[in-house]
């Protein structure tokens, strides 16, 4: 048998990434549902984050503007409504087959995780809610801004949307930017005493519109004038803000 050494083959350089290879778009699966998702960055040093565009949104898409919460989003905390609100919003987006999630780097209402943890400890020691504990620590109870996400949505061509929120600050910022906003509140039930106190504090301090059959989302509730021009509510739990149709 004659043995012939293989001739050396020079390595073929891998082709550089083309423009299509660098598109931040891919298939996303959750709970057996599959959607395409495109990721857009929101550039802002304090209130930036990402827009995740699922499927092919309608001219008036479902939109969730969500502040990052490690305890609620990733660890499943029962003491805040962040995780359940995010999960419910994703359920609604997937059920519709399209929508937009704005995920903002605003841990601890903009104060960060360390300040959030210290705030929790202060609340435990002095019997305060998290808003009052932030004030006691010399922190802004809510330092978040939503103008960057409003600008990012407008840059995507979103001028009308259905906002999944209980937070009037979010709808106010979007409406003030010229976006027509229809509010779809998120009914979240927290079972722990701390969680229930947290929801009550959000209503008292920030005017959150928690749908519980009474209070802000009851039929007799009147939206404050400073929210912006609005139509009368069409249903018990849907309001329009911003430009008239």
Among candidate residues 153, 145, 161, the one with its CA nearest the CA of residue 105: 145
pTM of the model: 0.80
DSSP state of 31: T
Alpha helices in the chain (DSSP H): 82-96, 113-126, 130-136, 147-155, 168-176, 193-206
Cβ atoms of residues 162 and 240 within 8 Å:
no
Helix (H) or strand (E) holding 86: helix 82-96
| CA–CA gap between residue 170 and residue 66 (Å, rounded) | 10
Residues 44-84: pLDDT tens digits? Answer: 999 999 999 999 999 999 999 999 999 999 999 999 999 99
Share of the chain above pLDDT 70, in %: 78
Which residues belong to the active site? Answer: 142, 144
* CA-based end-to-end distance of the chain: 87
Residue 152 burial by Cβ neighbours in a 10 Å radius (0-12, 13-18, 19+): buried
CATH no., domain 29-106+145-241:
3.40.50.10990
């Amino acid at each position: 048998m004659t043995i012939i050494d293989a001739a050396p083959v020079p390595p073929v350089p891998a082709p550089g990434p083309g423009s299509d290879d660098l598109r931040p778009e891919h298939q996303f699966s959750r709970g057996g549902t599959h959607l395409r998702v495109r990721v857009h960055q929101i550039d802002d040093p304090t209130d930036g984050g990402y827009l995740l565009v699922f499927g092919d949104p309608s001219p008036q898409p479902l939109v969730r503007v969500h502040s990052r919460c490690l305890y609620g989003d990733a660890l499943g905390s029962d003491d805040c409504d962040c995780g359940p609100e995010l999960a419910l919003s994703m359920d609604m987006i997937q059920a519709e087959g399209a929508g937009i999630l704005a995920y903002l780097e605003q841990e601890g209402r903009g104060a960060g995780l360390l300040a959030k943890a210290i705030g929790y400890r202060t609340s435990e020691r002095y019997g305060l809610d998290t808003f009052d504990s932030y004030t006691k620590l010399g922190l802004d109870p809510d330092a978040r801004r939503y103008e960057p996400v409003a600008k990012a949505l407008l840059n995507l061509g979103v001028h009308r949307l259905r906002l999944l929120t209980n937070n009037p600050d979010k709808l106010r910022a979007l409406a003030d930017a010229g976006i027509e906003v229809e509010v779809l509140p998120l009914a979240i039930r927290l079972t722990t005493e701390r969680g229930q106190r947290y929801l009550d504090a959000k209503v008292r301090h920030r005017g959150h519109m928690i749908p519980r059959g009474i209070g802000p989302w009851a039929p007799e509730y009147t939206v404050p004038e400073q929210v912006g021009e609005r139509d009368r509510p069409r249903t018990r739990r849907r309001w329009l803000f911003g430009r008239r149709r």
